[in-house]
Structures are given as structure tokens and as C-alpha cells.
């Protein structure tokens, strides 16, 4: 330790080449560790557009499956809405890979082909 103007200056200990190599390996292991899958719960209303076709409204993320069911039921009864879905999707947001949507419950009129969800 050296003193400078009455204060003690601390210097970080220098690492050996082996210690630096081990530090790099540890960091790379952390970076390559796969993230756990996350499940998102969603309530999605459906509206009828001017041509009479079904159109998806604004999706709302919910905290749980039961929350998505309650919210979808409310959205299905909103003015202009003809139906709503509560669904979930599970995947890894870090790499953007998600499985297919799993319908939890449907209310009112909803499309039969849900592959776009």
C-alpha cells in the first residue's frame, strides 16, 4: 500500500495468467448457460372488422392462467368484441424460441386456426 496525501491507496492484486484464464472460462460458462423456459399467459380479444372477418385485438399479458381466463372473459363481453381467448406460450425469450400457443379457454367467436398466435 502506498500513501498519497495522508490517504491509503489500495491496489487490486494482479492476477496470474492462469487466474485470468480461469476467470474467462467461468464467464463463458455463465454466458452459455441456457435460460429456463418462461410461460407467458395472455388474454386476446377478437373483433369483427368492416368486411365481417375476425380480427385480433390488443393482447394483454396476465400473471397466471386463471388471470388470463378472467381477463379473456371480460374482454369477450366488451363493446365491439365478439370473443376472446386465454392462452399460454412457453419458451426462451433470450433466443426468441417459443412453442405453439396452448389454448386455456375460449369465449364467444374465435378463429378455428390458431397457428398465427
Q: Is 49 within the bounds of a domain?
A: yes
The pTM for the full model equals 0.67
Residue 25 pLDDT level (bands cut at 50, 70, 90) = very low
Q: Is the pLDDT of residue 33 over 80?
A: no
Note the pLDDT tens digit of each residue in 8-22.
555 555 656 665 555
Structural domain for 101, as ranges: 38-108
Distance CA 44, CA 31 (A): 35
Q: Is 22 within the bounds of a domain?
A: no
Q: Is 23 within the bounds of a domain?
A: no
Contact 38, 91 (CB under 8 A): yes
Q: Is 116 within the bounds of a domain?
A: no
Q: Is 68 within the bounds of a domain?
A: yes
- Grid coordinates belonging to 116: 398465427
How many folded domains does the chain comprise?
A: 1
Q: If 0-12 CB within 10 Å is exposed, 13-18 middle and 19+ buried, where does residue 41 land?
A: buried
pLDDT score of 11? 55
Q: Is the pLDDT of residue 50 over 80?
A: yes
What's the half-sphere exposure (Cβ side, CA atoms, 13 Å) at 11? 7
pLDDT score of 28? 46
pLDDT score of 110? 92
pLDDT score of 115? 73
Note the pLDDT tens digit of each residue in 36-47.
899 999 999 999
Q: Is 95 within the bounds of a domain?
A: yes
Amino acid at each position: 500500500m502506498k500513501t498519497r496525501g495522508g490517504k491509503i491507496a489500495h491496489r487490486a492484486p494482479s492476477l496470474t495468467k492462469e487466474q485470468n484464464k480461469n476467470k474467462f472460462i467461468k464467464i463463458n460458462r455463465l454466458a452459455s448457460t441456457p435460460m429456463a423456459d418462461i410461460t407467458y399467459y395472455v388474454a386476446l380479444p377478437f373483433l369483427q372488422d368492416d368486411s365481417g372477418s375476425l380480427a385480433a385485438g390488443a393482447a394483454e399479458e396476465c400473471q397466471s392462467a386463471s388471470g388470463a381466463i378472467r381477463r379473456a372473459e371480460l374482454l369477450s363481453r366488451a363493446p365491439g368484441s365478439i370473443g376472446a381467448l386465454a392462452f399460454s406460450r412457453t419458451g426462451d425469450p433470450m433466443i426468441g424460441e417459443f412453442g405453439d400457443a396452448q389454448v386455456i379457454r375460449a369465449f364467444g367467436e374465435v378463429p378455428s386456426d390458431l397457428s398465427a398466435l
